[in-house]
Amino acid sequence: MAQRSTSSKLKAIQEVQSATETAMRSAVHYLRTSATPTSKGARDAIHRALRALQCECPEGIIVAGGKQSADPHATGRGRLAPGDPIVVDIFPRSRETGYFADMSRTFCIGAPRPKLKKMYAAVLGAQRLAFSMIRPGACGEDIQTAVDQYFEQKGFHRKNPRKKGGKGWLAEEGFIHGVGHGVGKKNHEPPKISYGKDILREGDIVTVEPGLYYKDVGGVRLEDMVLVTKRGCANLTRFSKKLIL
């Protein structure tokens, strides 16, 4: 199990998170002002902002548009078209401290299609549900199950499960990954908010990143980092959640 948050660790991660949000603002500015925005152009803007703040991205940066974003791990390539989802996932490391941060947002240039709007609203609701369940002693699997059930109730079903029940990422479409993971000197570390018996404890720093992925539309993911506190959680992410640019 990862070490619980100390004041020095928390401060270090907050500094990387601040750099992450600066980089996300650079990406938004690029997407709003470029006549022909591309995945590479947005990644270049993010890299420049992070380098200026002494951060690096050893695991890359995701800027995936349109149907490419239906794969949560797709790096993204090519033109970013109006009306399509654009998933931007930034997970940099401080060159000075070695700590990571992690944040995702989904954007749309211009008016989104109706299904994309419904997906976005459902993901936002699922994230709020997960926030409400995070506290010391909470089991990651209970939060995962609650989010799974929430999406099902909203009509967003998993498609083509690889096993009976289709738990977690064992499906091709729908909610196909865990709700979250620990962040520290590694970008993915315990405790997991997913299938398994990981228990959250005060001082853990974890992501909360529900998402929906359908091949006919693309993907939607929203990801914040939170600190598990004595009575719940504190969101370390301040960046806005506006779909339309």
Closest CA relative to residue 215, chosen from 66, 77, 88: 66
| Confidence (pLDDT) at 161 | 66
Read off the pLDDT of residues 92-143 as tens digits, 9 standing for 90 and up: 999 999 999 999 999 999 999 999 999 999 999 999 999 999 999 999 999 9
For the segment 66-77, the average pLDDT, to the nearest whole number, is 97
| Confidence (pLDDT) at 1 | 41
Between CA 180 and CA 110 the distance in angstroms is 30
Residue 168 vs residue 90, higher pLDDT: 90
Quote the tokens at residue 147: 């989010």
| Confidence (pLDDT) at 5 | 67
- In order of their start, the domains of the chain are 7-235 (3.90.230.10)
Has residue 227 got a pLDDT over 50? yes
Between CA 67 and CA 55 the distance in angstroms is 30
The whole-chain average pLDDT of the chain stands at 94
Band of pLDDT at residue 145, cut at 50, 70 and 90: very high
- Cβ contact 213:72 at 8 Å: yes
Quote the tokens at residue 57: 């991205």
